[in-house]
Amino acid sequence: MRISELARRSGLPVATVKYYLREGLLPAGEPTAATQAQYSEAHVERLLLIRALLGPGGLSIPAARAVLDVVEDPTTSIHNALGAAHYALPSPRTNPSPEELDRARGHLRRWGWKTDDASPSLAVLAAALHALQSAHFDTPDELMDRYADAAATLAEQDVASVPTGSAAEAVRFVVIGTVLLEPVLLALRRLAQEDVSARRLAPDDSRSRTGPDVS
């Protein structure tokens, strides 16, 4: 297909497709004339992945290029391609101490999770546990186990849903699913807390009211 068709299929302006070509995010097409080239279905798939990385994924152009290099490497396993994308996603900036990291690692060891010590989420977990401790909020193993159980249950199904036909499609799915399902999970947790509070903690005569009275 020509570049105009490629742009239409991927929902992007032609100028944007040309920009991704210049930046090396999208491989060149097959030249058919001095100023024309042919593009394939692989280019469409790649453009959809670039959109996911730069849009919902929030990656910079160099970070996206690094992920795409791993995805394009034919010797890369799906696991490694997903890992490259996962680790490139923006995380909250944290700077946990070695002791805080050890505490977080202790939980992961208890659960037998196979995760890398370089995982950005390990630092986020360590810093979050420290913030809770500073606020005098206890996080006993029993509480951590509940949260780990919920996370593991979701992750089993999340990973089972990943389309494994191509690394590009798998990575696109994981980037969008990881980033855009996070606000869904947090919103559902707050809504579920509201629901449970209404059923458990509201006095009988206010149960018919539809929510807290903030006035």
Residues of span 73-92 touching its own copies by CB under 8 A = 76-80, 82-84, 86-88, 92
CA angle 75, 78, 164 (to 5 degrees): 120
Binding to its own copies by CB under 8 A, coded x per residue (else -) over 2-41, reads ----------------------------------------
**Residue 160 vs residues 69, 100, 154, 169: alpha-carbon distances, Å:** 24, 32, 10, 14
DSSP 37: E
| DSSP letters for 156-212 | HHHHHTS--S-HHHHHHHHHHHHHHHHHHHHHHHHHHHHHHHHHHTS-GGGTTS-S-
Least spacing, CB of residue 74 vs its own copies, in Å:
13
Does residue 148 interact with its own copies by CB under 8 A?
Answer: yes
* Structure token digits, residue 116: 């890398």
Span from 19-27, 29-37, 95-103, 189-197 in contact with its own copies (CB under 8 A)? 189-197
Of the candidates 16, 25, 17, the residue with the CA atom closest to the CA atom of residue 62: 25
Does residue 141 interact with its own copies by CB under 8 A?
Answer: no
Contacts (CB under 8 A) with its own copies, residues 100-139: 108, 113-119, 121-122, 124-125, 127-129, 131-132, 135-137, 139
Of the candidates 4, 44, 1, the residue with the CA atom closest to the CA atom of residue 26: 44
- How far is it, in rounded angstroms, from Cα 70 to Cα 49? 13
Least spacing, CB of residue 99 vs its own copies, in Å:
17
Least spacing, CB of residue 23 vs its own copies, in Å:
20
H runs (alpha helix) in 23-119? 41-54, 61-72, 78-88, 98-111
Q: Out of 56, 58, 61, 65, name the contact with its own copies by CB under 8 A.
A: 56
Beta carbon nearer to its own copies, 37 or 162: 162
Span from 12-20, 29-37, 39-47, 72-80 in contact with its own copies (CB under 8 A)? 72-80
Least spacing, CB of residue 89 vs its own copies, in Å:
8
Q: Number of residues in contact with its own copies, rule: CB under 8 A? A: 94
